[in-house]
């Protein structure tokens, strides 16, 4: 793992903690562009402090920071947040499996740079309270965030309702993943209702959420009033094949985008329609799992 205390990160645009091995016994200059490191279990306080200081330095150029699997905890998240606050170049941040917890999540979200477009928060034990904090962030003005992954976080119906409320007013988010949570039917109903009002989100992943037909029916209903959704994932839930078909049909009813194309030399406009494809239905699920792919 890179020694962040002695490393020179000026000019580095992409830092991946847990990718490829690097060779450096002493201070290492990473100004070539992208840094990869061997998988790590934690960062020391001094290393997190050094990383935070690098993000605040005048020569900081990081646009992508990957810390997946690096144990930060609430204290480390707070220290990292101090460096992120004024770093206006960062567009992608992954802190998946960093054991942020509720307080760490709050510290991080409070200082997210407005430039950030992609955020990976998977597997951080944030539950419904954390989802509510995320919802507040999505409601905030001056956010460019368009991809958000909060899978594997124990988010239930209460958290899903908070996120659904945020989706009603968020003008930027296009891709939301809530896979491997427990929103169940009540959470799915709230999200389905939000789809009637949200006209920006194009991808919604609800795989592995203990959703049954009632929840899927609410999603289908919301899709009928939606004009932009292109992909809804509800695989590995307790949704019947018949209800899967209704969701698919509702998705197909959404008007496809039409682009005007000018073709020289006639300058005539023609309509180019984007295709939407779906996976074929799987066989009837076993009674023990009731898992189906959509």
Segment 214-265, tens digit of pLDDT: 999 999 999 999 989 999 999 999 999 999 999 999 999 876 554 444 444 4
pLDDT digits (tens, 9 = 90+) for 95-121: 999 999 999 999 999 999 989 999 999
When pLDDT is averaged across residues 144-159 and rounded to a whole number, the result is 96
Residues 168 and 140: beta-carbon distance below 8 Å: no
pLDDT at 254: 77
Whole-prediction pTM: 0.78
Residue 132 pLDDT exceeds 90: yes
- For residue 159, pLDDT beyond 60: yes
Greater pLDDT, 240 or 276: 240
Is residue 66 over pLDDT 60? yes
Instruction: Please tell me the predicted confidence (pLDDT) of residue 35.
Output: 40
Pairing of strands 14-16, 34-36: parallel
How much is the pLDDT for 183? Answer: 98
**Percentage, residues of the chain above pLDDT 70:** 73
Residue 41, pLDDT > 90, answer: no
Dihedral class, residue 91 (left if φ above 0, else alpha if ψ from -120 to 50, else beta): alpha
Beta bridge partners of residue 120, listed in sequence order: 94, 149
* Number of residues in the chain: 294
pLDDT tens, position by position, 12-32: 888 887 433 333 333 333 333
Residue 142 confidence (pLDDT):
66
| Mean pLDDT within 182-202 | 96
Q: Tell how strand 268-273 and strand 258-263 pair up.
A: antiparallel
When pLDDT is averaged across residues 179-185 and rounded to a whole number, the result is 98
Dist CA 56 CA 177 (whole Å): 30
Which band of pLDDT confidence, cut at 50, 70 and 90, is reported for residue 268? very low
Q: Which CA distances in Å does 138 have to 131, 142, 155, 161?
A: 10, 10, 16, 13
Per residue in 202-223, pLDDT tens? Answer: 999 999 999 999 999 999 999 9
> Is a pLDDT exceeding 50 seen at residue 272?
no
């Amino acid at each position: 793992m890179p020694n962040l205390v002695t490393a020179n990160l000026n000019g580095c645009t992409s830092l991946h903690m847990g990718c490829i091995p690097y060779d450096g016994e002493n201070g290492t200059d990473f100004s070539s562009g992208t840094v990869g490191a061997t998988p790590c279990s934690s960062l020391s306080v001094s290393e997190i402090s050094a990383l935070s200081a690098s993000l605040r330095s005048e020569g900081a150029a990081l646009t992508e920071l990957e810390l997946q699997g690096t144990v930060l905890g609430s204290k480390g998240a707070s220290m990292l947040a101090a460096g992120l606050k004024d770093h206006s170049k960062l567009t992608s941040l992954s802190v998946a499996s960093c054991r942020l917890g509720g307080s760490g999540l709050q510290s991080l979200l409070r200082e997210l740079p407005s430039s950030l477009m992609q955020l990976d928060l998977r597997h951080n034990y944030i539950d419904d309270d954390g989802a509510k904090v995320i919802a507040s962030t999505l409601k905030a003005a001056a956010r460019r965030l368009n991809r958000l992954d909060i899978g594997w976080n124990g988010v239930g119906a209460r958290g899903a309702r908070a996120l659904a409320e945020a989706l009603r007013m968020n003008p930027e988010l296009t891709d939301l993943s809530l896979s491997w949570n427990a929103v169940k039917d009540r959470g799915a109903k709230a999200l389905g209702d939000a789809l009637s009002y949200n006209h920006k989100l194009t991808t919604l992943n609800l795989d592995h959420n203990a959703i049954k037909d009632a929840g899927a029916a609410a999603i289908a209903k919301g899709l009928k009033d939606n004009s932009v959704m292109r992909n809804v994932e509800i695989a590995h839930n307790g949704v019947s094949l018949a209800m899967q078909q209704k969701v698919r049909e509702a998705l197909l009813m959404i008007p496809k985008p039409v682009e005007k194309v000018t073709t020289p030399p006639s300058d005539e406009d023609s309509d180019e329609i984007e295709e939407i494809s779906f996976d074929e239905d799987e066989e009837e699920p076993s009674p023990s799992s009731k898992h189906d792919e959509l």
